[in-house]
């Protein structure tokens, strides 16, 4: 089923004072108005029965924080969505606005931290505070077989979630490695991937080929566990 999970109070959550202050004064990009911006927490979206859950870091200031949907309207999404479409994970390659008709197939996308942080860097306390929503997403996404974490920080937040749930003793036992995969005690797989940020794409740390490899790996893992 397409949509967003039901996360109580997410839309009006103000538990991170630094992020609330940042959102209150974030200037729009040149040529845009603040009134065009979503400027609040950004819920995940996609197929709520999905077997693949992609977890990013946090909304981009002028991407998800503007459009209200993860990875929509910025460089990270412009890179990622056409490749997700090519991999059979969506009905279209374009992701421009919350009402552009994009539907995800067997995939749900959300972020480890739901509000935009200054300089794209949530604090440890903000990761920890927002993790209650990550746990709730994990509980509701009951068909997920593979969790694809984009970037080291999202990967670590997912591991810390499993530590809180009593399934992982030491996150340090699961080092981040691009396309590296770990079997979790509950049978789910945690797959690591470099972030698709504009910086990573420009520096060629992330390329279409590298992302396609991870998607192919994710698909194999999903299908292996049918």
C-alpha span between 198 and 207 (Å, rounded): 11
Least Å from the CB of residue 93 to ligand SF4:
29
Confirm or reject binding of residue 116 to ligand SF4 (CB under 6 A): no
For the chain, give me the number of helices (H) and strands (E)?
Answer: 7, 7
Number of residues that bind ligand SF4 (CB under 6 A): 14
Among 3, 14, 91, 101, binds ligand SF4 (CB under 6 A): 14
- Are 5 and 104 in contact by the 8 Å Cβ rule? The answer is no
- 3-class SS of residue 160: helix
137 binds ligand SF4 (CB under 6 A): no
Phi/psi of residue 45, nearest 5 degrees = -160, 165
| Choices 11-19, 31-39, 92-100, 196-204 (CB under 6 A): range interacting with ligand SF4 | 11-19
Binding segment toward ligand SF4, per CB under 6 A, in 49-57, 109-117, 135-143, 158-166: 109-117
CB of 38 to ligand SF4, least distance (A): 12
- 7 in contact with ligand SF4 (CB under 6 A): no
Q: How far is CA 199 from CA 138, 195, 204, in A?
A: 29, 9, 8
Could you say which of 2, 4, 15, 165 contacts ligand SF4 (CB under 6 A)?
15
Residues 28-67 touching ligand SF4, rule: CB under 6 A, are 41
Q: Which two tokens stand for residue 13?
A: 């959550």
10 Å CB burial of residue 158 (0-12, 13-18, 19+) is buried
Tokens representing residue 157 in the block: 């937040």
51, 66, 85, 114: residue in contact with ligand SF4 (rule CB under 6 A)? 114
Residue numbers at the binding site for ligand SF4 (CB under 6 A): 10, 13-16, 19, 41, 113-115, 126, 129-130, 133
């Amino acid at each position: 089923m397409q949509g967003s999970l039901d996360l109580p109070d997410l839309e009006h959550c103000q538990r991170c004072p630094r992020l609330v202050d940042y959102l209150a004064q974030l200037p729009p990009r040149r040529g845009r108005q603040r009134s065009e911006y979503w400027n609040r927490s950004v819920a995940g979206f996609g197929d709520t029965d999905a077997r693949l859950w992609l977890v990013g870091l946090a909304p981009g200031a002028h991407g998800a924080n503007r459009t209200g949907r993860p990875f929509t309207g910025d460089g990270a999404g412009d890179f990622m969505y056409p490749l997700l479409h090519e991999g059979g994970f969506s009905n279209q390659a374009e992701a421009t606005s919350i009402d552009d008709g994009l539907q995800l197939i067997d995939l749900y996308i959300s972020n480890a931290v739901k509000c935009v942080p200054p300089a794209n860097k949530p604090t440890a306390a903000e990761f920890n505070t927002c993790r209650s929503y990550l746990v709730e997403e994990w509980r509701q996404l009951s068909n997920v077989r593979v969790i694809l974490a984009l970037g080291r920080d999202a990967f670590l937040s997912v591991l810390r979630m499993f530590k809180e749930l009593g399934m992982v003793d030491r996150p340090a036992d699961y080092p981040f490695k691009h396309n590296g995969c770990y079997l979790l005690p509950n049978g789910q797989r945690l797959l690591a991937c470099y972030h698709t940020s504009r910086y990573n794409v420009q520096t060629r740390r992330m390329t279409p080929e590298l992302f396609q490899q991870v998607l192919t790996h994710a698909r194999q893992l999903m299908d292996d566990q049918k």
